Structure 1
């Protein structure tokens, strides 16, 4: 994946896309579904890891 340099011209292209003056390349609807699925899995994994750490810390200590 190649990232473009952040130049004033690139910001102008982004502004034109937002304003509707320049059309962005069409994307497959599958891209949005995959991105959402990965986001949900990532957030779920993070929440699970935090939950496990908190639970380990709350266990009562043996006398």
Structure 2
């Protein structure tokens, strides 16, 4: 069962899955690896961008 929106019914399905009353759909094991890889790449590129912006910042001039 897949829902396209976050509805109360969707949350109920998730609660039933957690309680063990409803079996989750089988997943492709590669999907978890790809999701983790994308998360790491996203965090890495975000940190790299912030690092570069901080590196370019000029120190304040003393009066």
TM-score by length of structure 1 reads: 0.79
Which residue number in structure 1 is paired with residue 26 of structure 2?
A: 26
The alignment covers a number of residue pairs equal to 59
Match of 1:55 in 2: 55
Matching of residue 35 in structure 1 with residue 35 in structure 2: yes
Q: CA deviation at 1:4?
A: 2.8
Distance, in Å, in 1 between the alignment partners of 2:22 and 2:54 is 49
Q: Which runs of 4+ in 1 moved over 4 A?
A: none
Which residues of structure 2 form unaligned runs of 5+? none
Supply the distance in 2 between the matched residues of 1:5 and 1:48 (Cα, whole angstroms).
Answer: 33
Structure with the larger RCO, 1 or 2 (CA within 8 Å, 6+ apart): 2
CA–CA separation in structure 2 for the residues paired with 1:57 and 1:38: 29
After superposition, residues 3-22 of structure 1 pair within 5 angstroms as 3-7=4-8, 9-22=9-22
